[in-house]
Amino acid sequence: MAEKLQLELITPYKKVLSEQVDMITAFGSLGEFAVLPGHASFLTSLKIGELSYLKDGETFHLALNWGYFEIVDDTVTILVETAERADEIDLERARAALGRAEEALKKLTREDKDLIVYEAALQRALIRMQVATKAARK
């Protein structure tokens, strides 16, 4: 059993991370989960949510936007639409996005085809704000 996990985090635009880490926590379609070295292989989908990982006693946070999480032989591959490190998130932009999503949702009905788009935008903004405030506390 390896003592570390190899974390590979990839978006359509770039490889965001390639690091040896101690633990990873993410939000899958069935809820939050964590993996440690020696974890059984599995594949799951990821929801809009936070990814955190522990490396040498320090915890790092990222905001993720939908994707997939796979662990095989202590290598974790995460493929997502977007990934933002906590220190890269502009909190004011996230707040503005939250306001726009809330305003749009006030005008929509349950039957409106754009409802799911603005609900996702609201969720993304909330996660980005949550992750950004963790960077501000460090």
Where b means 16+ CB within 10 Å and e means fewer, 92-112 reads eebeebbeebeebeeeeeeee
Average pLDDT score over the chain: 92
CA angle 123, 129, 133 (to 5 degrees): 150
Task: Say whether pLDDT at 136 is over 70.
Answer: no
pLDDT value at position 91?
87
Structure tokens at 44: 């799951």
Instruction: State how far Cα 55 lies from the chain centre.
Output: 17
> pLDDT digit string (tens) for 91-123?
889 999 989 999 888 888 888 888 888 899 989
pTM for the predicted model, two decimal places: 0.87
In this structure, the answer to whether residues 81 and 95 fall within a common structural domain is no
Which are the contacts of 128, defined by CB distance < 8 A and separation ≥ 6? 63, 84, 89, 94, 97
pLDDT value at position 108?
82
In this structure, the answer to whether residues 59 and 71 fall within a common structural domain is yes
Domain, as residue range, for 107 = 88-137
In this structure, the answer to whether residues 73 and 107 fall within a common structural domain is no
Domains in the chain, number: 2
**In the beta sheet, which residues pair with residue 52?**
25, 61
